[in-house]
Amino acid sequence: MWCRLKSRVPAGIVDNLLGRAGSVVSSSGSKESLHWVGKDFFGGSALEPDKLDLLRLFHLEIWPEISSTLAFGIPVIDHASLLIKGAGAAGTALHQDRPYWFGKEASPSIVSVWIALEDMSRDRGGLMLSLENEVGVSDMPSFNTGSVLEHEQCAEPEGGFPISIPDQIASRVAEPMAFISMSRGEAVAFDSFEPHMSGPNSSPTPRLAMKIAYAEGRQKAQYLARTDALE
């Protein structure tokens, strides 16, 4: 399941982030899909000073709309990433996030908030989701009640995700999917079971997006930050 959020991150906050992420963006200029070049941008790597002050600004714009609906006992940010797709990079294969997160949590709770840091267009490699699975924010309590589709491991994945849905299944699952148009600062939220993918970035500059992954913290030994520490 997925939903559009009414919250919109102001341009000044986006500009602040991109100003401090200049080296990450510029390193994504090749044709490789460097989706995880910004994996530790907000914290999590000893080599990269955390930027939780930036994450806090985005969190304060997004969290009020979804906090009461998700109703986590101990809400946390499991992880947050810059999702920069290099100029000319291939698309991301169809996948669910749950197969990547079996080791993170026994019971699925993670909800991903995907935020556009620029106006998204199809040729930029924007997010693609199933129109049949769209719900309202009020339906978010039903998130993470789905099931895992068959996935396979790819030694040299196109698009950077080594675990993806096999072609014979993906062709059927992708039929109701469409590019999701998003303006700068807009966000969508989806659960661990929502199949998603992105097209290639056929433009001459990197695609700019980010993700905040919220979760129930009561079952977690490790996470990026508790939400109350950012408020």
Structure tokens at 121: 């267009």
Closest of 217, 211, 186, 222 to residue 55, by C-alpha: 211
**What would the mean pLDDT of 15-26 be, rounded to a whole number?**
90
pLDDT of residue 30: 66
Mean pLDDT of all residues belonging to the chain? 91
- The CA distance from 7 to 213, in Å, is 16
Is residue 32 very low, low, confident or very high in pLDDT (cuts 50, 70, 90)?
low
Q: Is 181 helix (H, G, I), strand (E, B) or coil?
A: coil
pLDDT of residue 49: 64
**What would the mean pLDDT of 139-151 be, rounded to a whole number?**
96
- Percent of residues, the chain, with pLDDT higher than 90: 74
Asked if residue 188 lies in contact with residue 17, where contact means CB atoms within 8 angstroms, the answer is no
pLDDT of residue 45: 59
**What would the mean pLDDT of 215-227 be, rounded to a whole number?**
93
- The CA distance from 126 to 119, in Å, is 9
pLDDT exceeds cutoff 80 at 16: yes
- The CA distance from 13 to 61, in Å, is 10
- The CA distance from 116 to 96, in Å, is 20
Is residue 149 very low, low, confident or very high in pLDDT (cuts 50, 70, 90)?
very high
Residue 180 DSSP one-character state = -
Beta pairing partners, 114: 188, 211
Residue 55 DSSP one-character state = H
Q: How many CA atoms lie within 13 A of 169 on its CB side?
A: 13
CB atoms within 10 A of CB 10: 12
- The CA distance from 82 to 88, in Å, is 18
Please state the φ and ψ torsions of residue 81, each to the nearest 5 degrees.
-145, 150
Q: How many CA atoms lie within 13 A of 2 on its CB side?
A: 25
Q: 220 or 161, which is more confident?
A: 220
What separation, in Å, do the N-terminal and C-terminal C-alpha atoms of the chain show? 28
- Per residue in 70-126, pLDDT tens? 989 999 999 999 999 988 888 899 999 999 999 889 999 999 999 999 999 989 999
Q: 214 or 42, which is more confident?
A: 214
Task: Give me the numbers of helices (H) and strands (E) for the chain, helices first please.
Answer: 4, 12
pLDDT of residue 94: 95
Farthest CA pair distance, the chain: 46
| Cα–Cα distances in angstroms (integers) from residue 76 to residues 87, 165, 217, 229, in the given order | 33, 29, 5, 9
pTM above 0.75, yes or no: yes
